[in-house]
Amino acid sequence: MAITAAMVKELRELTGAGMMDCKKALNETDGNMDEAAEYLRKNGQAKAEKKSGRIAAEGLVAVAADDKTAAIVEVNSETDFVANNDTFKEYVAAVANQALTTSATDMDAFMADQWNADASKTVKDALTDKIAVIGENLSIRRFQKMTAENGFVTSYIHGGGRIGVVINAETDSDAEAVKEAMKNIAMQIAALAPKYISDADVDQDFIDHEKEIIAAQIENDPKEAAKPEKVKAGMIQGRIKKELKEVCLLDQPYVKATDGKQSVAKYLEQVAKENNTTLTIKEFIRFETGEGLEKKSENFAEEVAAQLK
């Protein structure tokens, strides 16, 4: 049976496997789509180890949550083509659900967990299977769980999985207005990427490091370097204070404020007063896909050309 480009495209969309792998599978199974998908599963296992050294810096962030507990995960792929594939999306959702129920506290223990979808496999086994089917190196990079003891958790996914945020809100209210406020704050965290809740959470090492950088900047500017030491010390303090307003959530300008001046802290005070409750952000987690990882430079057209050589 003649294998057409449309058949290869269909199998690739179905499995997420590489173009040449799909073509070979269809040739081996005389064009039977189901048998070709099974062929990819059976014959891809040996390739998984070879793929493990390749950079996986694309991918998705996903969250699984109930009212009290949330789990956030990042699963990486090599290309955004795979990251946008439904097979991969379903797998990442399954990893998030696995993280929600796990008792593991580190990646080694998590990878050794019994896979929820198939008790005969571990999380690592299931990952190896998925690498075999998709034809790219995949990596469960990280996971984190959060539990609200006196309140609720809120989650937000931005950009179809590019950024994920979970928040632990402490409050005695379950009013919709309070939950909406937390969703707004989750969006704020996604957009402005604060590092801390308030300046009380900032460690001294961070402040000392930033002071060093600012001092060096001042000394490298002839006009500023000529100023008296007392003036320079004031400049350093002023710039540190400004920077803390950018990295501390409660000090950031609330992005949805109509006047552009209301801080996140003032917004939360307003919501708490309007709903006759107290409202405190105890913890937040923000994952962004691929942050800190080396990215592949080749695009999809280059990938196809490379595989055809």
How does DSSP assign the chain, residue by residue? -PPPHHHHHHHHHHH---HHHHHHHHHHTTT-HHHHHHHHHHHHHHHHHHHTTS---EEEEEEEE-SSEEEEEEEEES-HHHHT-HHHHHHHHHHHHHHHH----SHHHHHTSBPTT-TTSBHHHHHHHHHHHH-S--EEEEEEEEE-SSEEEEEEEETTTTEEEEEEEE-S---HHHHHHHHHHHHHHHHH--SBSSGGG--HHHHHHHHHHHHHHHHTSHHHHTS-HHHHHHHHHHHHHHHHHHHBGGGSBPTT-SSS--BHHHHHHHHHHHTTS--EEEEEEEEETTTTSPPP---HHHHHHHHH-
Mean predicted confidence (pLDDT) in 80-85? 86
When the pLDDT of each residue in the chain is averaged and rounded to a whole number, the result is 87
Map out the domains of the chain as residue ranges.
5-51
Strand partners, 52: none
pLDDT at residue 292 is higher than 90: no
For the ranges 82-91, 106-115, 243-252, 288-297, the one whose mean pLDDT is highest: 106-115
Q: What is the model's pLDDT at position 308?
A: 38
Mean predicted confidence (pLDDT) in 197-221? 88
Percent of the chain exceeding pLDDT 70 equals 89
Model pTM score: 0.75
Q: What is the model's pLDDT at position 294?
A: 58
More confident residue, 72 or 84: 72
Q: What is the model's pLDDT at position 42?
A: 67
Q: What is the model's pLDDT at position 45?
A: 44
Mean predicted confidence (pLDDT) in 195-221? 89
Mean predicted confidence (pLDDT) in 183-210? 92
More confident residue, 239 or 287: 287
Stretch among 133-137, 143-147, 148-152, 282-286 having the lowest mean pLDDT: 133-137
Contact 190, 289 (CB under 8 A): no
User: Binning pLDDT at 50, 70 and 90, where does residue 24 land?
Assistant: confident
How confident is the model over 32-77, as pLDDT tens digits? 988 888 787 666 544 444 454 555 678 999 999 988 999 999 999 9
More confident residue, 252 or 45: 252
Q: Which of 153, 155, 130 is nearest to 75 (CA)?
A: 130
Say how far apart CA 193 and CA 195 lie, in whole Å: 6
How confident is the model over 125-135, as pLDDT tens digits? 999 989 888 88
Q: What is the model's pLDDT at position 309?
A: 41
The superfamily (CATH) of domain 5-51 is: Ubiquitin-associated (UBA) domain (1.10.8.10)
Name the one residue in this structure whose structure tokens are 């300046």.
199
Q: What is the model's pLDDT at position 302?
A: 52
- What lies within 8 Å, CB to CB, of 95 at 6+ separation is 62, 73, 75, 123, 140, 143
Q: What is the model's pLDDT at position 55?
A: 55
Q: What is the model's pLDDT at position 175?
A: 95
Report how far Cα 187 is from the mean position of its chain's Cα atoms. 14
- What lies within 8 Å, CB to CB, of 21 at 6+ separation is 40, 44, 135
User: Starting at the edge strand that comes first in sequence, how are the strands of the sheet with 280-288 ordered?
Assistant: 151-158, 163-170, 280-288
pLDDT at residue 29 is higher than 60: yes
